[in-house]
Structure 1
């Protein structure tokens, strides 16, 4: 497995540039959900195991390699092991990579779309500090977004604020309880009955992305 294979799959090859190309790629890959699970599992399943075991740590010698490893651990894991506890196996290592990218200035060398995905380990981490940092990064991205990508930047801002509100209320993300074998409280059960992706869906519609 080569690092460019991860990046080409996730970001497209050639990279989409126009709003129409970006929307099409987002619909077919980023928001495709379970429909691409089998393809990701077949192509990248073995590489994910290598990444978790540290066999691909040498990818971090380059910025693009570090990004590829982060995507493999943070995004592909959720396709390969959807709705199982194993989907979180790469999160700790992905968070470490995200911190390395953002504690210095490495993230500033990435493209807008690469930066948008490089922040996701903060959003996935069950921590109030990580949730707040995700908001900071999302806001900075929105401020730097070119006009044709403002709607995409809105997605990150709304999702990160919503995640923080949920975490502040419950101290964890209740929608993970079943997967992790955690007992939900009565308040969490009531929340989960009404849990919808309404705000995100509205922004995706604005951006022209199907889900």
Structure 2
């Protein structure tokens, strides 16, 4: 049950996030659909390639494609009435998608009996991959490469799931809230990672 819930939440959040970014960049309706879909499904596709899951599995998610299509359509036609602050809402949905997909990616790696390192990588790729592809296609610097704490939260969620600290569905939902909350707090309070410089 938790797997389906995280798939739904992550797909919905990232479809909206991608559509918002496309609207900010003033894409036409086709571009909005493409960026929304790539954001929603890109991270999972990259993860599947790297951990050996057939990419064709992606096309079996017809319901999620339908959900993403509906949400992208709503954003395109009604965003001016629904979202008064584009950037803030885009960040919120991105944080939710990051958390949901990070946990989902970790759960998949565990089901395949992979090492803790592979679980963390799967969490990061699933959680941050779609956002990276979205930002690159939109001509933006990916959030994962900025000093803002982003992929670290996905890795932390993967570590927690991989160590078996959160096993029940309820605990995993709590982890979703915690991970998304930490990402939002890092934006609000401008938490930064140290960066290296060559003088």
Higher relative contact order (CA 8 A, sep 6+): 2
* TM-score when normalising by structure 2: 0.31
